[in-house]
Amino acid sequence: MSRATQFAPGNKRAAAESEESPPAGPGAPCGACKFLRRRCVLGCVFAPHFGGGAAQFAAVHKVFGASNVAKMLSRVPMALRRDAASTVCYEAQARVADPVYGCVGTILALQHQVALVQAELSITRTELLNRRLALATDHPSLHSASPASQMMMNCGALPQTTVHFIDIDHHSLRGLPPPLMLPLQQPRQEEEEGDNQIMDVSWGNRNSCD
């Protein structure tokens, strides 16, 4: 297991709880008081978080000091004391494992992993962009065809059987009389004959009167 995995923030509480000894029985001193070789009184600030084993508290006492940890835990609300004790244990174990950097070494290792992943992601995105540009260069019609041109191409693929009715042979119609001219001329001739008859009748009546 690497250092970054061992002291990762997600494993902080797991590492602290895995090394924590079972709680001390009634009247038995807690791990902190056992390490300090003193009597564990009622309401001991270490008792809820440090069990009967003294090995875990040894790193805490070596790095921070028992009195400093007691003052810190007494100032933390009860709902947050368990998290505070786990954090102190984690930082103490990291300092014992790496006396120079401590938790900072773990943070630097995690940041290095993040930088490697980001660089790999950037390379992958660049390669994907290059492949898309190469595809656009090899097949420009797939990218340059607009929706309007695609619609015209789709319309050009339709069958042409629906437009054959306009293909008329005009040479075969030259010898035929215009069919629409005859009905238009007949009513005019009938009107002229009717007018002539009316004029003849009117002239006849006028001559008889004279």
pLDDT at 158: 46
Domain assignment of residue 52, yes or no: yes
**Domain housing 90:** 3-107
Report the number of distinct structural domains present in the chain.
1
Distances (CA, A) of 54 to 14, 20, 34, 39: 18, 9, 6, 14
Residue range 40-81, pLDDT digits in tens: 888 888 888 887 667 778 889 999 998 899 999 999 999 999
Domain assignment of residue 23, yes or no: yes
pLDDT at 200: 58
Domain assignment of residue 200, yes or no: no
- What is the Cβ-side half-sphere exposure of residue 103, based on CA atoms within 13 angstroms? 11
pLDDT at 185: 47
pLDDT at 1 over 90: no
Domain assignment of residue 135, yes or no: no
| Mean pLDDT value across residues 167-189 | 47
pLDDT at 11 over 80: no
**Given CA atoms 99, 104, 109, 112 in this order, what sign does their dihedral have?**
negative
Domain assignment of residue 182, yes or no: no
Which pLDDT band holds residue 182 (cuts at 50, 70, 90)? very low
pLDDT at 121: 97
Domain assignment of residue 79, yes or no: yes
Domain assignment of residue 88, yes or no: yes
Instruction: Out of 25-29, 95-99, 119-123, 152-156, give the one with best mean pLDDT.
Output: 119-123
| Mean pLDDT value across residues 129-138 | 90
pLDDT at 51: 76
pTM: 0.48
pLDDT at 127 over 50: yes
Backbone angles phi, psi at 208, to 5 degrees: -65, -35
Q: In the chain, what percentage of residues exceed pLDDT 70?
A: 53
Domain assignment of residue 84, yes or no: yes
Regarding predicted confidence, which is higher, 115 or 170? Answer: 115
pLDDT at 138 over 70: yes
